[in-house]
Structure 1
Amino acid sequence: MRYQEVEFPGHQGQTLTGILELPVTGKPVSYALFAHCFTCSKNFNNATNVSLQLASANIATLRFDFTGLGENLKNLGTNNFSTNVDDLLSAAKFLQDNFKAPEIIIGHSLGGTAAILASQNLPSVKAMITIAAPADMHSVSDLLSKDSNKSNSITVGDTPFIVNQGFLEDLKNHNTQTILEENRKAILIMHSPQDKIVSIDNASDLYSYAFHPKSFISMDKADHMLSRQEDSLYAGKVMASWLEKYLELEKRPTLETEKQAVVRTGTEKYYTEIRTGNHYIIADEPEHMHGQDLGPSPYDLLVSALGACTSMTLQMYAGRKEWDLQDVKVHVQHTKEHVQDSQSPTGKIDRITRDIELFGELDEAQRKRLIEIANRCPVHRTLEGQVVIDTTEKI
């Protein structure tokens, strides 16, 4: 995946930092905002994993640090709840001004509550997703604890955050039920029955507040923070699938051909899509060649084909002989070298070096024979043989 580090002004003029996770397939089909939990940051694993899964579905996701969180001081004492909602609106404006207005808003924990509130002022948003979100102020009160100095703090996971009374009073002024009843946007509610911080009853309440279209997914066995990687990756996959129902996602034209492979390169620098059979591959050039380094270069693919053919051929041969060849690693490198008597106009020849590692209980004779067989792999023979390439324009 690829990403872009961004900065944009918050509602009070302060600089907010974020990461825009982008799909490798070029232009995103849609943009999403991710509001992380108030004891997390934009770099938290669950936000990262969800963003990566959405990027796989060609959806770009902006996750950023709220005022007073992440790269800023971890103290909500100078903020109120509306501050965080305003930060989401500032992030949405940044996307609209520089990329495309967000159609999706996602929120985790108290960030889910903020996402619901922000959505009412974001006409571009067509779909909302909450993860382990509190349904109302009473649920947030359950997160509060008193420290030795008698100041309020919210503890989510192992991280306490100090909050002032103004933050809590401001939170009371927002009615999630009223907003969902008036909003009427598609919503996906995700919650774990085993959540020990925000009980699953909150998901039931949110679901009852919302009008259709609405959906609920049980994140069985997950904790509140989606600490296990498989849980956050699963959440991202479910989101991507669910969003297809409610967004008119622009589909890139499918690569079709009656031949062995078809390759397409558009105007996005050297980003290239390859389809061979049921398999899709991305090719690109490295950055020093003015590419984006989103995939292997053509020569990388060439030597990889030789390496793959070599290792497959050796395993096939060893299998027939019933030899104990457990593993094969083929290291390949392509270079162009000057040769004094070369018939090439440039005075250079192409050279591929191939180093083969053989693993298993093999004697010297077997190892020697396998190295000989490597030179008989079909791709090796093609590269050393006479190749005729016929080129025509397809009408």
Structure 2
Amino acid sequence: MPTENVSIPTSRGYQLAGSLELPVGAVRGAAVYAHCFTCTKQSRAAVEIARELAREGIATLRFDFTGLGGSGGDFGQAGFASDIEDLVESVRFLCGRYGNGLLLVGHSLGGAAVLAAAGMMSPGRIAAIATIGAPAEIPHVLGSIKGDLSAIERDGEGEVVIGGQRYNISREFLQKTAEIDLLGEVGKLHVPLLICHSPTDETVSVENAAKLFGAAKHPKSFLSLAGADHLLLDPHDADFAAGMIAQWAGRYLPMSGTVAAPAEGVVVASGEGRFGTEVRTTSHTFVADEPTNVGGNNAGPTPYDLLLSALGTCTAMTIKMYAERKNWPLDHVGVALRHERDHRNHPVAGDHFEAMDAGARIEALYRRITLSGDGLTSEHREGLLSVADKCPVHRTLTGELHIHTELASGIGDETDPQ
């Protein structure tokens, strides 16, 4: 996926470091991802989930909270209230690019932050919220801080260890972290909520998900991440969570950037990647791209892959249909294809040498067909092979083909070719 590094301005005078994961095809929505306590935007879950959401067409911003990673500010002075402010600033930044109706995704304490922040944003900014392993109470995070918290309350500041890292935190940090009534904030939400949690989460027990679910209003949903750990260190767990979130959120996102389905034929539209293109048929959508070695993102088949696929699939379908009509014992058809720009390498190319030497450009498609089935005779195989050249796509490619091109009068008119 294409990644764009961004800086998010804050009203507190410093910048938040962000990475915007962009879909290769058309953008059908946008999301802000909030990472777990003392993690950064570079944590495995943050990267995996943001990129998987992008693969599903959702441009996703992952950013570092105040004082973490590449963001400015002092983590030790910030506290949970600062995380909420960071989210408000990040949502404002992304809405400026994609408009209102964002998806908020929060992991662990980031999940609690998105739940608390949503109610402080302008109506319409947030379309839906998804949490992963979120605690039901903010003071829960204080249990993961190793240090003398009572001494910090008494002296005003002190050193602690969080997630293996040393930080100097203040009394204000502890107070701001403890004073939020999260369940009360959840009860005020008026946006769809998906709560994702693993029953085997040893850091934040699944009972927290039950409390959040009980406090929330409908529409609300629960997704079990059975077998996953709290940080989703297994990429398969992160991909599963992201894929399910994307499918669920698609019900609520504006999807204004999605290419409309044509009444007939195919429509393509360029996306955020260098070569990535969304392909839309009357009933299917997929992405075409180029390999990374030529500057693409390898997010889908290349144009020549699609050309070969058209010939191969049509060949297989035609052969199978013919065998069924003849009641021949064909069980399987395999078609392997490749494309070469220079036809000279083929044994039968001799007929074209003179034309190619004169400057003619003659390319070639090579097709190898495998037929299997108990009882297939040599006569059957010869008959089926002869049918291959009669498939409609083969006839189109080898017949006289005209391509008529015109410039559409306006944006979006490409959906109705005449």
Counterpart in the other structure of 1:65: 64
Asked whether 1:254 is paired with 2:261, we answer: yes
Deviation at 1:381, TM superposition (A): 7.1
| RMSD of aligned alpha carbons | 4.7
Distance 2:197 2:21 in 1: 24
Counterpart in the other structure of 2:409: none
Q: CA 1:306–1:82 in structure 2 vs 1: closer, same or farther (change >3 Å)?
A: same
Higher relative contact order (CA 8 A, sep 6+): 2
Deviation sequence 1:216-243 (CA, Å, 0-9, x none): 2222111101112222122112212322
Q: Secondary structure at the match of 1:178?
A: helix
Deviation sequence 1:68-111 (CA, Å, 0-9, x none): 22235998324322222222122112112233235221110111
Distance 1:126 1:32 in 2: 10
Counting aligned pairs with the same residue, the percent is 32
Deviation at 1:138, TM superposition (A): 3.5
Q: CA 1:161–1:331 in structure 2 vs 1: closer, same or farther (change >3 Å)?
A: farther
Instruction: Check the 8 A contact 1:266/1:272 in 2, yes or no.
Output: yes
Counterpart in the other structure of 2:2: 2
Deviation at 1:329, TM superposition (A): 7.5
Structure 1, unaligned runs of 5 or more: 314-319, 321-326, 359-372
Deviation at 1:386, TM superposition (A): 4.3
Matches within 5 A, 1:122-201: 122-123=121-122, 124-146=125-147, 151-155=159-163, 159-160=164-165, 162=167, 164-166=169-171, 167-201=173-207
Q: CA 1:96–1:265 in structure 2 vs 1: closer, same or farther (change >3 Å)?
A: same
Q: CA 1:151–1:93 in structure 2 vs 1: closer, same or farther (change >3 Å)?
A: same
> Amino acid of the residue matched to residue 231 of structure 1?
D
Q: Secondary structure at the match of 1:82?
A: helix
The count of corresponding residues between Structure 1 and Structure 2 is: 365
Instruction: Check the 8 A contact 1:274/1:283 in 2, yes or no.
Output: no
Instruction: Check the 8 A contact 2:261/2:281 in 1, yes or no.
Output: no
Distance 2:397 2:98 in 1: 49
Counterpart in the other structure of 2:237: 231
Matches within 5 A, 1:47-66: 47-66=46-65
Deviation at 1:134, TM superposition (A): 1.5
Counterpart in the other structure of 1:364: none
Q: CA 1:93–1:58 in structure 2 vs 1: closer, same or farther (change >3 Å)?
A: same
Q: Secondary structure at the match of 2:126?
A: coil
Matches within 5 A, 1:1-395: 1-26=1-26, 28-71=27-70, 76-123=75-122, 124-146=125-147, 151-155=159-163, 159-160=164-165, 162=167, 164-166=169-171, 167-250=173-256, 252-257=259-264, 262-266=265-269, 271=277, 273=279, 275=281, 280-283=285-288, 298-299=303-304, 301-302=306-307, 332-334=339-341, 342=355, 347-352=359-364, 385-389=398-402
Q: CA 1:335–1:83 in structure 2 vs 1: closer, same or farther (change >3 Å)?
A: farther
Deviation at 1:19, TM superposition (A): 1.9
Distance 1:29 1:12 in 2: 32
Instruction: Check the 8 A contact 2:145/2:160 in 1, yes or no.
Output: yes
> Amino acid of the residue matched to residue 205 of structure 1?
K
Q: CA 1:225–1:31 in structure 2 vs 1: closer, same or farther (change >3 Å)?
A: same
Structure 2, unaligned runs of 5 or more: 152-157, 319-327, 329-333, 345-351, 371-384, 406-415
Q: CA 1:102–1:78 in structure 2 vs 1: closer, same or farther (change >3 Å)?
A: farther
> Amino acid of the residue matched to residue 199 of structure 2?
P
Q: Secondary structure at the match of 1:142?
A: helix
Q: CA 1:116–1:336 in structure 2 vs 1: closer, same or farther (change >3 Å)?
A: farther
